[in-house]
Amino acid sequence: MIKAIKGMKDILPEEIPQWRRIEQAARDVFESYLYREIRTPVLEPTELFSRSIGNATDIVEKEMYTFEDSHQSVSMRPENTAGVVRALIEARLYEARGPQRYYYVGPMFRRERPQKGRFRQFHQIGIEAFGDPGPYVDAEIIQMTCRFFRELGIHGYEVRVNSLGCHTCRPAYVEKLKMAIYLIEGSLCEDCRRRRETNPLRVLDCKNCQEQLSGLPLITENLCLPCLEHFDGFRAHLQQFSIPYVLAPRLVRGLDYYTRTAFEFASVSGALGSQNSLLGGGRYDGLVKNLGGPEVVGIGFALGIERLILALTGPPAEPTPVAYVAHLEMEGFRKAVELAEKLRDQGVAVAVANPLKQLKAQFKEADRIGATTVYVIGPDEIRDGVVKVKDMTTGEQRVVPENDIVPSFSE
Ligand code: HAM
């Protein structure tokens, strides 16, 4: 038997209603804030990710599916901010009229160690907003996410916020941080010791070393005045929207493009185990320029659909009603096909019984496919202008005039 690749899974038909519900809620909520859908390729030049996410990040260092194609190195997208920024530059979307606000839904690929809530092919819903320096929009996208979570009935999460400074204040802070890490290096894990040189900010959110890190300088205490004002403004708007949040001065996230605002929605219900980040995002004011575009600022987030599903509580979606049309003899079969088409015109999902099956076997099949209503038509019913209708959940049977089933059925 050939099995799916570890960490890549099928989404089976019974799971699809939940996926659709999540995707539809995202579309409805995001479009009500003037975001429009964008679809970008799954495969992009590797350089796009190394220049945006950063060479010294776990994603680029070891998690991308990369191969040579037509003499260039290409990678399966591990995330989609880079792709959307590339599209913005390539199609000069920044010159278009109207808000430059985009959302996307699709698969991403990271060669991570699979575990609960962590896959090698996973699906993100994300948004990116360009050209707005904030801080109002920073808070607005958090408000929008809270609305989206409310729509889905997701509770038990915490909004964590931080500022990562900018290209003016961060370099001095990073030097200070490096020095402080150097002083406690002996007590840190191997990854942190390596990252002191390659990516010192990532040391801050190392899950293994939190206790040893408690004395390190915090970025929020080393911001320049404009970054501080931006952060204060962002928090004031969150307060204005009555959104509770937690200050998380060691929240860094694993992508190098972030500047100023960084945030995360973390599940605190225990439903996700150690992979408790439902959604992550932040501002990336230098990214468009860095990828060859003009000076256009940006902010966005992405959430993992698989993780969102783990966090969903409450009853599963109601099964969609399914009708089954049983029939007797050729006359009944013809009428059954007609009735099925009329029901489909009304948006009902219908199966017509296989004409080679006896009535008893037809009922067995109706049961097997989970039909909620069975219609029966034979010569007697045709003669009397009626249809027998059986409610499969209650077992109740009625005889209904043809006209009352679908108004135009007997025409
Ligand atoms: P990220 O923090 O790398 O950010 O991922 C965002 C979300 O994707 C995570 O919070 C998690 O729910 C989900 N996720 C990530 N990796 C996996 C995995 N291996 N298995 C399952 N789910 C996963 C980004 O991707 C940024 N592009 C977000 C962003 C948009 N920032 C600005 N704009």
CATH number at residue 393: 3.40.50.800
Same domain, 307 and 326: no
Residues ≥6 apart with Cβ < 8 Å to 173: 165, 217, 219, 222
Q: Which of the listed residues 311, 330, 364 is the one where a domain comes to its end?
A: 311
Position 315 scores a pLDDT of: 66
Burial environment of residue 275 by CB neighbours within 10 A (0 to 12, 13 to 18, 19 or more) = middle
On the question of a cis peptide bond just before residue 135, with omega within 30 degrees of 0, the verdict is: yes
| pTM score of the predicted model | 0.90
* Maximum distance among all Cα pairs of the chain, rounded to whole angstroms: 94
> Does 192 fall in a domain?
no
Q: What is the pLDDT of residues 214-257, one digit of tens each?
A: 889 999 999 999 999 999 999 999 999 999 999 999 999 889 99
> Does 292 fall in a domain?
yes
Same domain, 356 and 299: no
Same domain, 386 and 240: no
> Does 186 fall in a domain?
no
- 8 Å CB contact between 344 and 294: no
Same domain, 151 and 239: yes
Position 314 scores a pLDDT of: 66
Reduced to 3 states (helix: H, G, I; strand: E, B; else coil), residue 250 is coil
Same domain, 349 and 249: no
φ/ψ region of 18 (left if φ > 0, alpha if ψ in -120 to 50, else beta) reads alpha
Nearest 5°: phi and psi at 228?
Answer: -65, -45
Q: Which of the listed residues 265, 286, 311 is the one where a domain comes to its end?
A: 311
Model confidence band, residue 270 (pLDDT cutoffs 50, 70, 90): confident
Is the shortest distance between the CB of 298 and ligand 1 below 6 Å? Answer: no
Same domain, 306 and 333: no
Q: Smallest Cα–Cα separation from 265: which of 257, 256, 255, 275?
A: 275
Total domain count, the chain? 2
Burial environment of residue 139 by CB neighbours within 10 A (0 to 12, 13 to 18, 19 or more) = buried
Identify the residue whose C-alpha is closest to ligand 1 atom 33: 300
Same domain, 350 and 305: no
> Does 326 fall in a domain?
yes
Same domain, 24 and 135: yes
Please give the residue range of the domain that contains residue 20: 13-169+223-311
Separation between Cα atoms, residue 65 and residue 43, nearest integer Å: 10
> Does 49 fall in a domain?
yes
Q: What single DSSP character describes residue 220?
A: G
Average pLDDT rounded to a whole number, residues 330-340? 95
Q: Evaluate if residue 115 carries a pLDDT over 80.
A: yes
Q: Which residues of 12-35 are buried (b: 16+ CB within 10 A; e: fewer)?
A: eeeeeebbeebeebbeebbeebeb
> Does 58 fall in a domain?
yes
Residues ≥6 apart with Cβ < 8 Å to 168: 224, 226, 227
Nearest 5°: phi and psi at 278?
Answer: -80, -35
Q: Evaluate if residue 317 carries a pLDDT over 70.
A: no
Position 316 scores a pLDDT of: 66
> Does 70 fall in a domain?
yes
Is the shortest distance between the CB of 332 and ligand 1 below 6 Å? Answer: no
Separation between Cα atoms, residue 353 and residue 330, nearest integer Å: 12
Same domain, 332 and 397: yes
Same domain, 30 and 113: yes
* DSSP string for 132-187: ---SHHHHHHHHHHHHHHHHHT--SEEEEEEE---TTTHHHHHHHHHHHHHHHGGG
Same domain, 81 and 37: yes
CA of residue 12 to ligand 1 center, whole Å: 23
Q: What is the mean pLDDT of the chain?
A: 94
Q: Which of the listed residues 311, 335, 362 is the one where a domain comes to its end?
A: 311
CA of residue 111 to ligand 1 center, whole Å: 13
349-352 and 373-377 beta bridge pairing: unpaired
Determine the residue of 48, 105, 124 to mutate for testing ligand 1's pocket, defined as the one with the most ligand atoms within 8 A of the Cβ atom. 124
The count of residues in the chain is 411
> Does 202 fall in a domain?
no
CA of residue 385 to ligand 1 center, whole Å: 59
Model confidence band, residue 272 (pLDDT cutoffs 50, 70, 90): confident
Q: Evaluate if residue 313 carries a pLDDT over 80.
A: no
Separation between Cα atoms, residue 159 and residue 266, nearest integer Å: 7
Identify the residue whose C-alpha is closest to ligand 1 atom 23: 304
Same domain, 242 and 379: no
CATH number of the domain where residue 45 is located: 3.30.930.10
- 8 Å CB contact between 409 and 338: yes
Is the shortest distance between the CB of 146 and ligand 1 below 6 Å? Answer: no
